[in-house]
Amino acid sequence: MRTDFTTSVLSRRSFLRGALAGTAFVLAGRLGLPAFAAGAGKAAAKARAVIQIWMWGGPAHLDTFDPKPDAGSDYTGPFDKPVSANVPGIRINELLPLLAKQADKYSIIRSMTHGINGHETAAYMAQTGRPPGGRLSFPCAGAVVSRFRGREAGYRGPIPPYVVLTQPQGRFSEAGFLGLAYKPFATGGDPAADRFAVEGIVLKDVSDERQRRRRNLLKDLDSFHAAAAAAPEMAAAERARNEAYAIILGEGGKVFDLSREKDGVRERYGRNTFGQSCLVARRLVETGVPYVTINYPGWDTHKQHFQAMRRMLPQLDAGFSALLEDLSARGLLDSTIVWWGGEFGRTPRVQWESPWNGGRNHYGNVFCHVLAGGGFKGGRVVGASTARGEEVRERPVYPCDLLGSLYAQLGIDPDGPMPNPLGLDVRVTPDAAEGVKSGGRLTEIM
């Protein structure tokens, strides 16, 4: 890790903060798999990267991957004709036909549960595996993977090991007690725009040549640096500056340049923020980035829920299915976990009454998540909800179960120690002594 001084020099830009943790610019390509992650691990890793599709706000399980066509219109709304998948016995929402054709690549967990109905507390639980309000603020999955599969484990890519497209998840501190070094680099900008204005890399209406001229001017004016060049702090700052410019003007930053992709590819993902974020995520894992979150907002549909679903589900269908298809075609799905889900589901019974007028509220009793790739089996359904999707009927799966399974696929020992500032005996995932409910890891799809 770099010195505290170096970190402070570039703290104004989150991307440059992430770049400080790296060494000199290297276009990493695909990283080799270590036998286990630094500080933890009992088995060889099956996966080396995660793409998390975070459905911010909470997607309705009945209107995505757990349809209940026989429950009646007060539960189904207009979605009472689910489409059959390419795996016998699996049906999903009728507006997800492309994903239905890819069902052999993913498994649906229909019995996720934690019982929490508040965004902040549910998001913390879903992303850390622990209930909020304890002595420690725990890191989310992206920060944990960054800690165990990032710089300490030999990652040397130019891009920080934990990237969020495009805005931070919010509602909780992603890095928790691990600290700023493990916060995600949030790109900002919009990958569907003519030019993806990535924070700290691409400035709107500023060409690469103008960036070079700015750099040269700063160098010419920096007489203090020349006078104190022998100071270790100045040498550290110079290294950080060179690494940052290598990303801005070198090959590293070009991973965000979607003009390098064929128009047909971009169209297949969908010319919208989510679809193009999926395409950027694929490009990032191709260059070795261990963890990418696509923060997909808009699913907190208290009002006019079905109008929103008719607009958003086709976007989800195109982007998610194209991502799975491309990862598979490029030989990356076996080593890349794709994790879809939000903080909770939504009320199974539609709230037709005013002021909701056809909305669905927060619902943590039962909801869906989806896992694909990285050693997870496809074409499976784990657990089940009741006939109207109101409770878990069989095989409850808690956030710690899913996260522990994900870590195990990455070669991170879920039962291993988690570094923390108080030096406490803390594990990567909670044990029975912490009083956190568990239904067991997802061995049926591992």
Beta bridge pairs of residue 371: 107, 339
Say how far apart CA 154 and CA 336 lie, in whole Å: 18
- The rounded distance, in Å, linking the Cα atoms of 295 and 13 is 20
Which pLDDT does position 13 carry in this prediction?
40
Cβ-contact 388, 429 below 8 angstroms: no
The DSSP call for residue 242 is H
pLDDT of residue 244: 65
CATH architecture of 42-196+257-445: 3-Layer(aba) Sandwich (3.40)
State the Cα–Cα distance between residues 97 and 166, nearest whole angstrom. 26
Amino acid at 189: G
Reading phi first (left if > 0) and then psi (alpha if -120 to 50, else beta), residue 186 is in beta
pLDDT at 21: 37
337 CA to centre of own chain: 10
Sign of the dihedral defined by the CA atoms of residues 156, 149, 191, 167, in that order:
negative
Beta strands in 56-157 (DSSP E): 83-84, 91-92, 106-112
**Burial class of residue 285 in the structure, from the number of CB atoms within 10 Å of its CB (0-12 exposed, 13-18 middle, 19+ buried):** buried
362-363 and 345-346 strand pairing: antiparallel
Tens of pLDDT, residue by residue, the chain (446 residues) = 333 323 332 333 443 434 333 332 233 333 334 444 544 445 689 999 999 999 999 999 999 999 999 999 999 999 999 999 999 999 999 999 999 999 999 999 999 999 999 999 999 999 999 999 888 999 999 999 999 999 988 999 889 999 999 998 766 789 999 999 999 999 999 999 998 989 877 666 666 666 666 656 666 567 666 666 667 776 666 666 666 666 666 677 889 999 999 999 999 999 999 999 999 999 999 999 999 999 999 999 999 999 999 999 999 999 999 999 999 999 999 999 999 999 999 999 999 999 999 999 999 999 999 999 999 999 999 999 999 999 999 999 999 999 999 999 999 999 999 988 888 899 999 988 899 999 999 999 99
- Report the side by side order of strands in the sheet with 185-186: 185-186, 162-165, 291-296, 49-55, 336-341, 367-372, 106-112, 380-382
Q: H helices of 258-351, where?
A: 263-269, 273-286, 305-329
Q: CB neighbours (10 Å) of residue 164?
A: 24
Cα R_g (the chain), whole angstroms: 22
Q: What local confidence, expressed as pLDDT, does residue 85 receive?
A: 98
pLDDT value of residue 219: 61
Helix H or strand E encompassing 162: strand 162-165
In the chain, what are the domain boundaries? 42-196+257-445
Cβ contact 90:107 at 8 Å: no
Instruction: Please list, residue by residue across 228-257, b when 16 or more beta carbons sit within 10 angstroms of its beta carbon and e when fewer do.
Output: eeeeeebebbebbbebbbbbbbeebbebbb
- Classify the C-alpha dihedral 42-43-47-48 as positive or negative: positive
In this structure, are residues 417 and 426 in contact, taking their beta carbons and an 8 Å threshold? yes
> What is the end-to-end Cα distance of the chain in Å, rounded?
34
The string over 110-145, giving b where at least 16 C-beta atoms fall within 10 Å of a residue's C-beta and e elsewhere, is: bbbbbebbebebbbbbbbbbbbbeeeebbbbbbbbb
- Return the pLDDT at 210: 64
pTM here is: 0.86
Q: What does the pLDDT read at residue 232?
A: 75
Q: What's the confidence (pLDDT) of residue 238?
A: 64
